[in-house]
Amino acid sequence: MIPAILTGVRLHMKQASRNPFDLSGVIVWPILYASIAYYLLDAKNDPRLLLSASLGAAVMLMWSLVVIASSGALEQQRWQGTLELVVAAPTPLTAVIGPICIAGALVGAYAIGATLTWGALLFDVPVKVEQPLAFAIAIPACALAVGMLGLIMAATFVLYRASFHLGIATQYPVWIVSGLLVPISFLPDFVRPLSWVLAPTWGFRAIQEAALGGTPWPDIGMCLVLSLVYLAIGGSCLVAFEYVARARGSLRLT
Amino acid sequence: MNTLRVVFVGGLTSYRALFNWISPWIFIPHTLGYPIFEILFFVYLGRFAGVESDRFFLIGNAFLAIAVTGMFGMGHATAGERRSQTLAALLASPANRFAVFLGRALPSIVTGFFVATTSFAICAAILGVHVPLSSLSGLAIATAAAAFSCTALGLCLGALGLRGRNVSVFADVIAACMLLVSGANVPLEKLPGWLQTISSGIPLTHGIKAAREVANGASIAATSDLLLKELAVGGVYLAAGLFMLRLFEYDGRRTGSLETF
């Protein structure tokens, strides 16, 4: 199973790196969100805030690519008529879909470089990482946790044929609740408990704390714990939803 | 008469075909849910930054909802035909091309208008933003003008779909740029001069400006120049889109590339 996962991650990363849709997403979207944040937050004249906005915009993209990659890949396989073959293969579906999500998140990690470069070149945002080792570990930890959250989403995509639209619709709610550009303290109180169970919240905090100087390790730990929890939930949901889709005979429906 | 039939019956049929693959239970939450959360996201960002009012972001992003439905609806019309392998049959028919694609544009305009007004009303209620009743007619006119210009831009994208295989990438990038350049989320005076020049030539910019002035108490007559500019921008894109449709259809026939995925 491990070789299947590693091969899947490698294959989907290659695919995403050659897909113009994903590439434009990696380059254009985070830069635009970061630019909007720079123009708006510039009023506060706080370089650390602008650096934090760069990282937040990158994690936003990471989540987007996970849902787009997983939902888009399933929709694509439906159209190509290969989804049934994938489901019928002896390899567990989790080992097929999990790598799609993780690869999406890892490609999204490129966006960190894009937003930091853009901010430094055009908006004079200082790029100084206080804890490089923690920063280097926080990025894959964040990608893993966000990717595993995507696995839970992907389970529902197996069941519904309009998976791509469902995936797209989850972007803004997760961005808001995770406090990526707007601190959670600015949001209504009922949002806080929701943010605790979402990987982007902890992944962003880990990267932010490592970059700005803080205590990133507990957040990195939370990313790993959440990854395991998501894997258990997502894997179980996939098995259950796969059974329902087989029973209904709806896998192939485009 | 036949042209009108192609516009309305063809448009209605293509719109109904949408529900062949997407359930209304998914279509409605998606078309409404996305703009509602987009509005809330930028309103909270504006509050955090201490820039402009909730109403500023509410109006700007409700108008962006028009851009999404108008542009993507039209932009995907040709891509959808190609994907379901009906594009060649459609273009082989003697039907007036303008009527065929206008038929596909009308539902997009109506959807864009519905989405913008509904998400505006829901978010105004959530955020407690008050808009005077007297300004609603002006807002509706500005919305209609913006829906027209966005759909005209969508026609250009749809025409590009005859030429390029993956027009959704281009549409996606343009939609992303509109978040910044149209003045929906960043006051235009904060943008660099060259970006302000670009923003004056794209759909939405003048419509959003007119809507904000109307919401602040200006009369429709006082904003008529902005509305006319919005319509003029839409007219230019409409003309360009029709020209591109003709050009790329000819080129697609010549190179046999209409069905290329």
**Partner-chain residue, chosen from B38, B176, B185, that has the shortest CB–CB distance to A172:** B38
> How close A23 comes to chain B (CA, Å)?
9
Q: CA-CA distances (angstroms) from residue B149 to A84, B68, B227?
A: 43, 12, 11
| Weakest mean pLDDT among A36-45, A124-133, B31-40 | A36-45
Is the per-residue pLDDT at B4 higher than 90? no
Amino acid at B214: V
Checking if the pLDDT of B42 tops 90, the result is: yes
Task: Indicate yes or no: CB of B179 within 8 angstroms of CB of A39.
Answer: no
Mean pLDDT of B171-185: 86
User: Is the predicted pLDDT of residue A254 greater than 80, yes or no?
Assistant: no
Task: Tell me whether residues A40 and B49 touch, CB distance under 8 A.
Answer: yes
- Chain B residues with CB-CB distance to A61 below 8 A: none
Q: At CB < 8 Å, which residues of chain A contact B?
A: 20-21, 24-25, 28-29, 32-33, 35-37, 39-44, 79, 160-162, 165-166, 168-169, 171-173, 175-176, 181-183, 186-187, 254
Read off the pLDDT band of A137 (50, 70, 90).
Answer: very high
* From A33, A169, A182, residue closest to B44, measured CB to CB: A182
Chain A to chain B Cβ contacts (< 8 Å)? 94
Q: Which residue of A has its CA nearest to B43?
A: A182
Give the ipTM of the model, two decimals please: 0.86
How many Cβ atoms are within 10 Å of A145's Cβ, its own excluded?
A: 31
CB contact (8 A) between residue A165 and residue B48: no
| C-alpha to C-alpha distances, A88 to A84, A97, A237, B41, nearest whole angstrom | 6, 14, 17, 41
Nearest CB among B29, B49, B50 relative to A169 is that of B29
**Is A28 close to B176, i.e. CB distance below 8 A?**
yes
What pLDDT is attached to residue A230? Answer: 92
Q: What local confidence, expressed as pLDDT, does residue B92 receive?
A: 83
- Quick one: what percent of chain B has pLDDT higher than 90? 25
Contact A40 B186 (CB under 8 A): yes
CB contact under 8 A, B26 and A44: no
Record: contact A40-B180, CB cut-off 8 A: no
B125, pLDDT greater than 60: yes
Q: Which of A88, A77, A99 is nearest to A164 (CA)?
A: A77
The reported pLDDT for the residue numbered A64 is 86
Domain-located, residue A254: no
Predicted confidence (pLDDT) at residue B74 exceeds the cutoff of 90: no
User: For residue B37, which residues of chain A lie inside 8 Å, CB to CB?
Assistant: 171-173, 176
Compute CA distances A105 → A26, A145, B161, whole Å.
11, 9, 29
Across the interface, do A32 and B41 touch by the CB < 8 Å criterion? no
Tell me which of B40, B123, B166, B169 to substitute to probe the interface with A (most A C-beta atoms closer than 10 Å). B169
> What amino acid occupies position B244?
M
The total number of structural domains that make up chain A: 1
* Parent domain of A220: 2-248
A254–chain B nearest CA distance, Å: 7
Taking an 8 Å cut-off on Cβ atoms, the answer to whether A43 and B40 are in contact is no
DSSP string, B201-248: TSTTHHHHHHHHHHHTT--TGGGHHHHHHHHHHHHHHHHHHHHHHHHH
Q: Which residues of A touch B30 (CB under 8 A)?
A: 162, 165-166, 168-169
- Residue A10 domain flag: yes
| Distance in Å, alpha carbon of B255 to nearest chain A alpha carbon | 23
Question: Average of pLDDT values for B95-120?
Answer: 79
Cα angle A47, A209, A68 (rounded to 5 degrees) comes to: 90
Q: Band the pLDDT of B22: cuts 50, 70, 90.
A: low
| HSE-CB of A151 using CA atoms within 13 angstroms | 30
Q: Is B93 exposed, middle or buried (0-12, 13-18, 19+ CB in 10 A)?
A: exposed
Q: Do A28 and B173 touch (CB under 8 A)?
A: yes
**Any A CB within 8 A of B177 CB:** yes
User: Per the domain annotation, does A253 fall within a domain?
Assistant: no
CB contact under 8 A, A182 and B172: no
H helix count then E strand count, chain B: 11, 0
pLDDT digits (tens, 9 = 90+) for A209-248: 999 988 999 999 999 999 999 999 988 888 888 888 788 7
Instruction: Give A51-93 pLDDT, tens digit per residue.
Output: 888 899 889 888 888 888 777 777 777 777 788 888 888 888 8
Q: What is the pLDDT of residues A7-52, one digit of tens each?
A: 888 888 887 777 666 677 677 888 888 888 888 887 567 788 888 8
On whether the pTM is more than 0.90, the answer is no
For B49, the closest of A20, A41, A175 (CB atoms) is A41
CB A154 within 8 A of CB A235: no
* Cα atoms in the 13 Å half-sphere on the side-chain side of B66: 32
Q: Which residue of B has its CA nearest to A253?
A: B21
* Whether pLDDT at B50 is above 90: no
Q: Which residues of B touch A156 (CB under 8 A)?
A: none
Asked if A40 and B21 come within 8 Å (Cβ–Cβ), the reply is no
